[in-house]
Amino acid sequence: MKPGLVRILDGNIFVLSQDSGDIETAQGDPSGFFTLDTRCLSLWRLSVNGERLHSLALDDSQYFEVRFFLVPGAPTHYVDAKASVIRERTVAGSFEERLTVFNHSNEPTTFTIRVEADSDFLPLWAVAEGGRYKRLGRIYKRVADGCLRLGYERDTFRRETVISTSEPARVDEDGLTYDIRIGPHGQWTTTLHVRGLALRPDGEDVRDHLHPAPHRRNKPQLEQDLKQWLAETPQLSCDWTPLEQTYRRSLVDLAALRFYTLALPSEPMPAAGLPWAATATGRDSILTSLQALPIVPDQAVATLRLLALDQAAVLDDFRDEEPGKIMHEFRYSELSAFEEQPDTPYFGSADATPLFVILLDEYERWSGNADLVHEFEAEARAALR
């Protein structure tokens, strides 16, 4: 990944941006707002009175939120800045950004706030390959009901990005403009909501009928979820503070890796990591679950359940599939939908299958739960053939 990118995530929904909060892509640059292996925003650029913003500081204390402290103009202008901006960004099922503009002068001031937005809807793999991908569908833009809709469709494959705002704005096909007036030492705030949709032919999101629907989570739910996660794990107390801090940071990082699949929306399993492997995998998910068994054994249950659900049952050379094999990875992109890549799922892994059996055995050793072994007995025997 490009060094210096700021990242926040909720499963396989994530945002990678510059330290100003802007998203501007270049060849091989993974910047963007991604959901289900598709880049739903490739441009997200903020300006104040036509000037770009520069970073003073950022606060990324949580894996699902970040705050950018910014000033317009050159970085040297912050000493006597007449205005400043805070971007508070959250990813919790969707992408939300709260903009607060401060007027530091003694006079009422008029500002033009512009947010430019666009999307190339590239598959994640194509982003990794530098954007070299021949599109066979069409990209569209439309303004409706005060929202900007960016979309891509190819036959029955449809992705759409819907951008809405809490404050009145002039919305066009390239972004949103706010003409505002702020009193002396006053402030103005708006909240932008960006949803990445995976649409069925009837126009509904494919995730709307899941229970629970992970794309409809919000920040308070993520905060409560993390609090509960930390409360349920073993507590470490010692005389060396750095060890306590490292342990807690590791628990938070494990929580950040959790991924809710469409097949099992209520049981999170660990993904491999941002940005290229924020998905269900065989080897990586098993190894993470195996190493975390003494701390969070439930992750192993979700991993075993999902991998058993997708265990190979037929011979298929395209996917390297053989009966009993455990998958290598599962993807949701356009490439996968039209079988331009063999990853729905792909089974080309030399070690995921034996590792599945090892994880099942080790889980029983640590938990004493023999019922789970009996539940997956058929899958384990198939893996050993």
pLDDT in tens, 354-373: 999 999 999 999 999 999 99
pTM of the model: 0.93
With b for 16 or more beta-carbon neighbours within 10 A and e for fewer, the 333-369 pattern comes to bbbbbeeebbbbbbbbbeebbebbbebbeebbeeeee
pLDDT in tens, 303-327: 999 999 999 999 999 999 999 999 9
Please give the distance of CA 280 from its chain centroid, rounded to a whole number. 13
CB 1 within 8 A of CB 274: yes
Question: Is a pLDDT exceeding 60 seen at residue 175?
Answer: yes
**Alpha-carbon torsion 108, 174, 36, 209, what sign?**
positive
Q: What is the pLDDT of residue 297?
A: 92
Question: Is a pLDDT exceeding 90 seen at residue 1?
Answer: no
pLDDT in tens, 219-250: 999 999 999 999 999 999 999 999 999 999 99
Confidence class for position 25, pLDDT limits 50, 70, 90: confident
Q: Which of 6, 185, 20, 216 is nearest to 115 (CA)?
A: 20
In the chain, the amino acid numbered 100 is T
pLDDT in tens, 259-308: 888 888 888 999 998 888 899 899 999 999 999 999 999 999 999 999 99
Give me the domains of the chain, ranges plus CATH numbers: 6-199 (2.70.98.40), 233-384 (no CATH)
- Nearest 5°: phi and psi at 3? -65, 150
Euclidean distance between CA atoms 260 and 188, whole angstroms: 36
Euclidean distance between CA atoms 29 and 14, whole angstroms: 15
Q: What is the pLDDT of residue 260?
A: 87
CB 138 within 8 A of CB 160: no
